[in-house]
């Protein structure tokens, strides 16, 4: 078996936004790494704002730079991964760590782009997304074992459409969004051109956890509960809005994975969707006709058609029950490498579980991610 890690990460660094990749119009205020005052960390200065913001209203904890002036900062020093492997300045070191964890191929996602908004200037964010995609397209060109997923600016849909097409040409195997488009749900009509272009390009869409929705983020002043709710809940919102809003009916070949929220929530959400679909479609509609569901078929039918995939955390105690519900063909493995809360050698832990069949393990670790990303050679 050749294990495919469907959700690894890269740590952005000053090269990401260097002149080689960043739009000339914004180079004077490009994202820069600046030192912290007392905590021994570093921060991104993005459009005159510091990221991340760990305390206070709207706090988040993503995007902390791993280095300052070429040296690892305090939190990066605690990680087992090398600086070059995290920032992709040394691909040999990244591949070596993958070998140590028995990962043959890794699909890479961003770190900094898991928080919204990075700037209130949509043109500036477009420049950041462009630079990120071009950087990875350059650094990973021709790599057999390291693949990547592009990012788009959902506050500039014409730019997002262009970014999908450009990322495809640069070698991306998918595109990433968060569980909401800021304070818009993922069935918002403004997003339809995005779904059309990813379907046209035959690229899957990944809905990743992240601080996506300011209305939720700003309810929290402490990072602990924010990391539980504001960070994870948008993924659930993304599934509900895309399904109930008829996105899978309009784009029947669209493939979407919901990443890094584990799979414990899948039973709950699918049961609630089924219940409300039945209630609205058979009861409430007889009282108020406009309450008729927009989606055309039962929630489970979209899974049977192959539209929806889910990632699993290796310790998810209900993974066997989720497999029983959605089938072993819709679940992917993701290591979260090199983020600090990941489990080392996660693939081994999953293999050693006694409550999952060997056939299911093979599908989760290799067959399913290869099919989802349409990876050649598998």
Q: What tens digit of pLDDT does each residue of 122-144 get?
A: 999 999 999 999 999 999 999 99
Confidence class for position 293, pLDDT limits 50, 70, 90: confident
How many Å apart are CA 277 and CA 345, to the nearest integer? 41
How many Å apart are CA 139 and CA 367, to the nearest integer? 26
pLDDT for the residue numbered 282: 67
Q: What tens digit of pLDDT does each residue of 29-51 get?
A: 999 999 987 667 899 999 999 99
In a domain, 236, yes or no: yes
pLDDT for the residue numbered 132: 98
pLDDT for the residue numbered 344: 82
DSSP letters, 301-334, are HHHHTT-EEEEE-TT-TTHHHHHHHH-TTSEEE-
How many domains would you assign to the chain?
Answer: 1
Supply the range of the domain harboring residue 165.
Answer: 4-373
- Does residue 286 have a pLDDT over 80? no
How many Å apart are CA 354 and CA 338, to the nearest integer? 27
pLDDT for the residue numbered 284: 66
Pairing of strands 256-259, 150-151: unpaired
Question: Residue 50 forms beta bridges with which residues?
Answer: 45
How many Å apart are CA 161 and CA 94, to the nearest integer? 31
Question: What would the mean pLDDT of 161-180 be, rounded to a whole number?
Answer: 98
In a domain, 297, yes or no: yes
Q: What tens digit of pLDDT does each residue of 361-371 get?
A: 999 999 999 99
Confidence class for position 168, pLDDT limits 50, 70, 90: very high
pLDDT for the residue numbered 38: 66
**Dihedral over alpha carbons 77, 90, 150, 342 (to 10 degrees):** -40
Q: Specify the pTM.
A: 0.96
**Per-residue tokens: 183:** 């304070």
In a domain, 51, yes or no: yes
23 CB-contact burial (10 Å; exposed 0-12 / middle 13-18 / buried 19+): middle
DSSP letters, 36-72, are -SSSS-EEEEETTEEE---SSTT-------SEETTEE
Residue 369 backbone class (left: φ over 0; alpha: ψ -120 to 50; beta: rest):
alpha
How many Å apart are CA 5 and CA 368, to the nearest integer? 11
- Does residue 264 have a pLDDT over 80? yes
Confidence class for position 341, pLDDT limits 50, 70, 90: confident
Residues in contact with 118: Cβ distance below 8 Å, sequence separation at least 6, in sequence order: 46, 47, 51, 112, 125, 128
In a domain, 353, yes or no: yes
Q: What is the CATH number of the domain that holds 211?
A: 3.20.20.140
In a domain, 363, yes or no: yes
In a domain, 378, yes or no: no
Confidence class for position 78, pLDDT limits 50, 70, 90: confident
How many Å apart are CA 175 and CA 110, to the nearest integer? 11
């Amino acid at each position: 078996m050749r294990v495919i890690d469907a959700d690894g990460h890269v740590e952005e660094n000053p090269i990401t936004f260097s002149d080689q990749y960043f739009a000339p119009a914004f180079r004077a205020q490009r994202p820069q790494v600046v030192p912290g005052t007392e905590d021994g960390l570093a921060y991104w200065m993005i459009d005159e704002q510091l990221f991340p913001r760990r305390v206070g209203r709207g706090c988040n904890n993503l995007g902390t730079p791993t280095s300052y002036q070429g040296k690892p900062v305090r939190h990066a020093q605690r990680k087992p991964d090398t600086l070059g492997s995290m920032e992709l300045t040394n691909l040999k070191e990244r591949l070596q760590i993958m070998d140590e964890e028995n990962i043959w191929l890794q699909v890479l996602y961003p770190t900094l782009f898991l928080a919204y908004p990075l700037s209130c200037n949509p043109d500036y964010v477009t420049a950041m997304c462009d630079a990120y995609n071009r950087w990875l397209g350059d650094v990973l060109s021709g790599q057999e074992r390291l693949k990547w997923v592009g990012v788009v600016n959902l506050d500039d849909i014409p730019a997002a459409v262009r970014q999908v097409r450009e990322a495809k040409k640069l070698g991306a195997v998918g595109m990433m969004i968060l569980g909401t488009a800021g304070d818009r749900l993922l069935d918002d009509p403004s997003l339809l051109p995005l779904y059309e272009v990813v379907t046209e390009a035959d690229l899957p869409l990944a809905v990743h956890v992240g601080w996506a929705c300011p209305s939720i983020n700003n309810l929290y002043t402490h990072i602990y509960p924010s990391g539980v709710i504001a960070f994870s809940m948008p993924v659930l919102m993304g599934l509900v809005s895309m399904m109930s809003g008829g996105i899978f009916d309009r784009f029947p070949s669209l493939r979407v994975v919901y990443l890094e929220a584990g799979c414990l929530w899948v039973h709950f959400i699918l049961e609630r969707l089924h219940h409300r679909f039945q209630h609205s479609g058979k009861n409430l509609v007889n009282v108020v006709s406009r309450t008729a569901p927009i989606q055309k078929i039962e929630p489970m039918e979209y899974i049977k058609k192959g539209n929806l995939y889910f990632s699993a955390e290796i310790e998810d105690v209900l993974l066997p029950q989720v497999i029983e519900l959605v089938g072993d063909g819709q679940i992917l493995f993701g290591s979260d490498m090199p983020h600090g809360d990941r489990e080392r050698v996660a693939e081994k832990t999953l293999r050693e579980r006694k409550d999952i069949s060997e056939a299911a393990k093979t599908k989760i670790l290799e067959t399913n991610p290869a099919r989802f990303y349409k990876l050649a050679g598998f």
